[in-house]
């Protein structure tokens, strides 16, 4: 056991009931350390189905109950997460500790707040049932995964959220509102970078020249002569826009987050060319087109027709 005594130890996202839960490792870690306060910071359970708990998971809960014994002189606090939602009464009886929505304590003359991150996510809070269904899907993926569980482990490296959408401009603005990076990349679901380095080069160019918007050319792979002609016209218009009002395709649009917010994002009342209406507000000196391009399909022309797409584009541009 370590000789150091910690004031507060915080453990979160153990997900008891999940095949990926490392309950034994967590229990050993707690036994090897001395501390005055333990904060279980949300998502200690994967969901409310106790039938999924293994012997290792129950051993962890038993150890928590022992820690909460007043003779141990350890304060044990449970802060509710989105996966723990609804366990307040159960946990207070099961392991003998109180469950909080948030917990405040003082140490070193400073006031500290423990709160689970889902409370900053309005979509998770308002869509508890969808969050539960996503949990079930994730548990099934774990069962179908191979021995080393590459799918489940890769999932933990991602920070992905499904957000409410609607029109493209509405969905994009909602996604941008959650971003905390310097740049935002808007990219359509059916496009593929023509070169592996496209995104990296776009970011490097934006950083080096302090640009507000970077786009690229569109390549219609497998398209017919009319598809290729219209996309050639689109690319030509992008280059001509360098001497007038910048035009970036929404299929690939790297935008400076601060400038995006200053411009108010995409116009949410228009159904077409919201990308141009936004990018034309960017100064020419802050706009660039990077070589490489993105592959796309001709789905837009199949859905709307070549003539209608061309007419709407020209009407918006001129």
- HSE, side-chain direction, 13 A CA sphere, residue 166: 14
Give DSSP secondary structure letters for 8-59: EEEE----BTSTT--HHHHHHHHHT-EEEEEEEES-SBSSS-GGG--HHHHH
Report the CATH architecture of 170-317.
Alpha-Beta Complex (3.90)
pLDDT at residue number 157:
44
Q: Which residues of the chain have pLDDT under 70?
A: 1-3, 47-49, 82-94, 116-165, 299, 304, 310, 312-318
Q: Which fold has domain 5-122?
A: Purple Acid Phosphatase; chain A, domain 2 (3.60.21)
Q: Where are the domains of the chain?
A: 5-122, 170-317
Express each pLDDT in 73-86 by its tens digit: 888 988 887 666 56
pLDDT at residue number 234:
77
Express each pLDDT in 44-66 by its tens digit: 877 666 777 888 988 988 888 88
pLDDT at residue number 205:
93
pLDDT at residue number 47:
66
């Amino acid at each position: 056991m370590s000789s150091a005594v910690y004031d507060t130890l915080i453990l979160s996202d153990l997900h008891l009931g999940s095949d990926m839960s490392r309950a034994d490792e967590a229990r050993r870690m707690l036994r090897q350390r001395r501390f005055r306060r333990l904060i279980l910071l949300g998502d200690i359970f994967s969901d409310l189905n106790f039938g999924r708990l293994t012997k290792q998971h129950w051993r962890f809960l038993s150890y928590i109950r022992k820690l909460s014994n007043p003779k141990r002189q350890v304060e044990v606090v449970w802060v509710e997460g989105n996966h723990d939602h609804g366990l307040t009464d159960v946990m207070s009886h099961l392991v003998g500790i109180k469950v909080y929505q948030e917990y405040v304590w003082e140490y070193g003359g400073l006031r500290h707040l423990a709160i689970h991150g889902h409370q900053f996510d309005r979509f998770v809070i308002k869509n508890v049932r969808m969050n539960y269904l996503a949990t079930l899907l994730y548990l099934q993926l774990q069962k179908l995964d191979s021995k080393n569980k590459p799918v489940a482990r890769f999932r933990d490296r991602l920070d992905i959220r499904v957000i409410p959408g609607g029109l493209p401009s509405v969905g994009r603005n909602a996604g941008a509102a959650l971003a905390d990076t310097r740049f935002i990349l808007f990219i359509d679901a059916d496009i593929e970078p023509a070169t592996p380095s496209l995104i990296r080069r776009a970011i490097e160019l934006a950083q080096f020249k302090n640009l507000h918007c970077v786009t690229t050319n569109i390549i219609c792979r497998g398209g017919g002569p009319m598809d290729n002609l219209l996309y050639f016209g689109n690319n030509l218009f992008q280059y001509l826009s360098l001497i007038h009002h910048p035009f970036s395709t929404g299929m690939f649009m790297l935008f400076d987050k601060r400038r995006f917010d200053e411009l108010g994002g995409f116009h949410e009342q228009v159904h077409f060319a919201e990308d141009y209406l936004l990018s034309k507000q960017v100064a020419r000196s802050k706009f660039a087109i990077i070589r490489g391009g993105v592959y796309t399909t001709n789905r837009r022309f199949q859905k709307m027709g070549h003539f209608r797409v061309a007419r709407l584009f020209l009407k918006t541009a001129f």
